[in-house]
Structure 1
């Protein structure tokens, strides 16, 4: 987590607002403090960092404000309320299965000498609410916008339809247009916009890498806030180019609505250190998935048969959600030593609460016990270039379609990683082939899935397309759509 402080406005003597940013989920929570009281907005599942932050200031957490029922992560609202006595607040129309304050539109909440005004802004979801921060002098300072307004984008309006059948993405987009025009755009230009996500989140399609901005800048540069935009134009542009949301999104929404186990219970269950023999017995006697979170080179050099590699060093939680269909799947973990708790926590952030133990001592324990291992062959970009020139190999590119369409190796077939399980029949078992992605992370996930399903006639390119593009492969081996017009 990365903390950014914003002590605005300068003449405020009591207000402190901090953005607590978690890069692997492109997620921003917020900490507001004034005169010994604090509020947390959109917390992640593990809540101790927020409690520690308030204790450092000598502040009591009074409210947990939720901008909406989140789809891309399981919020920490229940644990935070239970551990601190804070009240959970949702916007109008929210119907949680637990005790919470359901705010009225324009309702004011006091946090120390500051005020938080709930502004109902349906569109991303129907309960979506933006919170206006007002300092002790009555000066409006900033907007915590959730997934209603991002920097450079707005929240996708197609997610709630997967939970509420009679909502369509067109209806939601229409609501979002009205919320932006009637509730947000009339506010002061100097307000700071504090969104729930930044670039990399699947909750939008073209978010900026910046995580805050002024409302004035967004009115000028955000495509969805053009002053001359009609409602019909807005709906068309916002819905254009949306990809299928990750399969775990509706499941996370339901967990956020209905409730879940405490993170403490999840950690207790998962942090069971297992010997190599016990690990093997449990793997054989249950239907647990063996998930190896080590880096790609370490995994390729040796791994437990039938394990899947999703490295902790990148978008771990997102790919777990994309590729493990059952959110209640029991999971056995192989991690780098000391990374067990982090791995369990990051699984829980997206609702995978059923880790049942980890290999004590990591993979070396398995190897030293003389257990069976498997490997995956990786080749360099230079070796790929030689093979491409001399053998015309079969190539599978597992990047997103948009990446592939932008530039790819002539002759390569695109099977995006998140769709690999639906396209296994297109991958030969009797012919050798080469896998690659952009940098090697996703292709190793694909390689581990193929190994688990019985493929062993392939190699993976270390460094992926990024490394290949720097070799002496002829430039005609790359094609950009514009060159085909």
Structure 2
């Protein structure tokens, strides 16, 4: 038997390659598909079918990409939606995978048509269940995409899906969700690398309820999501142009890069580490360090925008990959040779002021009221980690809606968990015309290494 768990960091997306007797299927493939092809060839398997658990919102599904390379059949869920590719899978529909059997099981809640897939072993007993965004390690799928007025209905669907369909499969069944910790498709997915139905039955906080009403009350919340989700929903119905037909973004000279910057609908994303950006960056660029790119690009860059990249080392390929995964296809190129070549061409650069936690802590003691502390962590982080004395909290994703709440006559000290997101905030403020913002280096990690107060 073949079983491969394929993780996509940043998006916290998980897909699966499973097979038996040289026949393999892929569940919820990502857009860059080489890893599936490579692993199948290495094991001597042919990919014959592709399954989708639901119409995804946070990344571009790679089904059409994989079909173009393998000829595999595509089977998608949400049969009432207007898909322009593949075949609608039916509840209870069975598929052979060598000597194994894969059965579709309708598990609505996250979306109305969500499907889980149960893999049955050689003796006919269930081995694994691929739950998509219905049930995760330590959490359940968000149910708010149909709006606040439908939370009771979608919550009821999800309760029935989990308690009446997934849990009865048996405690020993391996649970294979479509996301891990950090995904926006739930509020608090656990770090468990592997899990089972039984582990979730006993340890998942969202399942420790006495009845459906209690479950709906617990999970029936509206969560934030980035604007690009709407574009993903549409593109995952129609399919996107194949990546093979895209012109690969090229390295640009400083002169070419500067010329491309002049277009008003062009956005410059700097994916280098925050300290590199602070030292010197291209004017007008937005700092989104590479590890944060999949999580935050959709909040600040419009879908369809023209994009220029400032990178270093192996970052160009990784940044382009992450942008493609989230549907940003209009990449004009990247600064060849990085910021050093920009300097050597005599081009203007800018910097961001920084401050250590020791200095900030001292300022709070000696000059209280003369500074504005902006904490851009989420409410969940504040509850779990504590708040900074005298700080105002505006979550990073909501910052553009609250510029008018920030002072122009005081230094703004920007604070997050480690400093990465603070640099993103500082770049947004700089581009908005703020001139006196400073990033707190090391964020809460550094703060906790001192005696500075947490309230």
TM-score by length of 1: 0.90
For residues 422-448 of structure 1, give each alpha carbon's deviation from its aligned partner in whole angstroms, at most 9, with x where no partner exists. Answer: 011111223222111111011000001
In structure 2, the residue matched to 1:482 is none
In the alignment of these two chains, the number of paired residues is: 452
Does the CA-based 8 Å contact 2:281-2:339 persist in structure 1? Answer: yes
In structure 1, the residue matched to 2:176 is 194
In 2, Cα distance between the equivalents of 1:468 and 1:214?
38
Matched, 1:256 2:220: no
For residues 210-257 of structure 1, give each alpha carbon's deviation from its aligned partner in whole angstroms, at most 9, with x where no partner exists. Answer: 13212122222223334x6322111111114x5322222222121111
In structure 2, the residue matched to 1:413 is 392
TM-score by length of 2: 0.95
Deviation at 1:170, TM superposition (A): 2.0
Does the CA-based 8 Å contact 2:54-2:78 persist in structure 1? Answer: no
Does the CA-based 8 Å contact 1:92-1:105 persist in structure 2? Answer: no
In 1, Cα distance between the equivalents of 2:130 and 2:193?
12
Change in 2 beyond 3 A, CA 1:142/1:430: same
In structure 2, the residue matched to 1:299 is 277
Deviation at 1:184, TM superposition (A): 1.4
In structure 2, the residue matched to 1:30 is 16
Deviation at 1:388, TM superposition (A): 2.0
Matches within 5 A, 1:250-289: 250-266=230-246, 268-269=247-248, 271-289=249-267
Change in 2 beyond 3 A, CA 1:202/1:92: closer
In structure 2, the residue matched to 1:230 is 211
* Bigger shift: residues 280-289 or 432-441: 280-289
Does the CA-based 8 Å contact 1:25-1:318 persist in structure 2? Answer: yes
In structure 2, the residue matched to 1:350 is 326
Deviation at 1:377, TM superposition (A): 1.2
In 2, Cα distance between the equivalents of 1:169 and 1:296?
39
For residues 71-115 of structure 1, give each alpha carbon's deviation from its aligned partner in whole angstroms, at most 9, with x where no partner exists. Answer: 111111110111110111123535343231212211111112211
SS in 2 for 1:184: helix
Does the CA-based 8 Å contact 2:107-2:134 persist in structure 1? Answer: yes
Deviation at 1:32, TM superposition (A): 0.3
In 2, Cα distance between the equivalents of 1:357 and 1:156?
36
In 1, Cα distance between the equivalents of 2:392 and 2:264?
36
Counterpart of 2:92 (choices 106, 122, 133) is: 106
SS in 1 for 2:218: helix
- Runs of at least 5 residues in structure 1 that lack an aligned partner in the other structure: 1-14, 480-485
In structure 2, the residue matched to 1:86 is 72
- Runs of at least 5 residues in structure 2 that lack an aligned partner in the other structure: none
Deviation at 1:456, TM superposition (A): 1.6
Matched, 1:40 2:26: yes
SS in 1 for 2:139: coil
In structure 2, the residue matched to 1:8 is none
In 2, Cα distance between the equivalents of 1:327 and 1:94?
26
Counterpart of 1:290 (choices 259, 268, 289) is: 268
In 2, Cα distance between the equivalents of 1:119 and 1:285?
49
Matched, 1:333 2:309: yes
